[in-house]
Structure 1
Amino acid sequence: MLEVKDLTLKYGQSQILNGINLSAKKGEITAVMGTNGVGKTSLLKAIAGRHPFASGAISLDGQVLGKHSAVNAARAGIAYVPQGREVFPMMTVTENLETGFACLEGRAHGVPDHIYDLFPVLRDMSARRGGDLSGGQQQQLAIARALITKPSVLLLDEPTEGIQPNIIKHIGEVIQKLRDQGEIAIVLVEQFFDFAFELGDRFVTMDRGTVTLDDVSANVGREQLLELVSV
């Protein structure tokens, strides 16, 4: 289980996160929601080691993560799919996937078959350059590359942004399948309300760097949630 306790984060003199507490269990999707600029992406970057936090602690399966960096977070089992995907445009699909081996000990060669089972288009386009893929195909590649690292936590930042509806549906099905396998805790930051509402097992809403709601989906009504993320 991922646990974030009393996390604060600053950009220069501006405090972005104010004592955030969050937990995400394996076999569940924790949907983090709120309007633009409330700190959702900053929270994911802090968890992923992309931005140093000022105070607080991040632990995984009861173990506090020490010197927190992107490399150490990945080695600990935290995979991050950033907004914008960050696919290497001049590398092939296969080469992009193989970059995920970098944080694994005893690196294995070859992309596991289950990756292509989740995203068949990547097998068909394995020799194509990442920059030549559509936005939806790049998003599938970015998620697949994260899964190559064999994570116990998967952080997804706006996975539906700029994606055509049929691929949004497919990505939703993949996220559900990963959840149902029970081996990964999934933290989903998403502006597409219906997508997040349908997938979320737990909802965390944020406003101005603080948590305004943290509850299981059974206790959260659609209208209540919509009101919290629309102000």
Structure 2
Amino acid sequence: MPGTSSFHQRVAADKRAAILAAARTLFADQGFARTSLAQVAAAAQVSKATLFKQFPTKDALFDAIVEEVWAPRAHLTDDLDPADPGTGLRAVGAVYAELLGRPDTAGLFRLVIAEAPSSPDLGRRQFDLGKLPFFDEVRRYLRATADAGSLHVPDPTTATTQFLGMISNFVLWPRMFLVDWNPSDAAVAHQVEEAVLTTLARYGAR
């Protein structure tokens, strides 16, 4: 019956969310290497069989956390007009700032940094599954603005690094060192606007 199928899907989704939340907490509290899947199952109040069915390895669980954190990247620039880079960059910058301001994002970065000596591959997987796809989305948009003649961007990689860096340097990186860093929405919006204006001034079509 359709209703029964929908119910089971909701139950599975709820259990998946509980598992991911428990894993994030345990990874943050005691580290990735010292956390077992059995501990995650117990904290999520699901059976080990249920956890193993969705996440057969701890690496698969970590990858799911990364993909969930960076989910806003999906199709980020599909509907942005390359002929209007100001509006497009403001939209991208707002999404990026919101993503970096989430506690889960800061927690993921702290985990990767803390575990680097014992689990260096976590950083690579966080980059490959999370940051790089987002970066590529923005780089494709900047390349499209160049193709449209609305910006002059000879090196989209450098332009993307500069634009995203102006935002992350205000929103995310102070949070790695200052536990009380919590800029207001207005301050974040101002930083995004400054990043947009700086990019438009640097790469405005000649």
TM over 0.5: no
TM-score, L = length of structure 1:
0.26
Work out which of the two has the higher radius of gyration on C-alpha atoms and give 1 or 2. 2
Return the structure number with greater helix share: 2
**Using CA pairs below 8 Å that are at least 6 residues apart, which structure has the higher relative contact order?**
1
TM-score, L = length of structure 2:
0.29
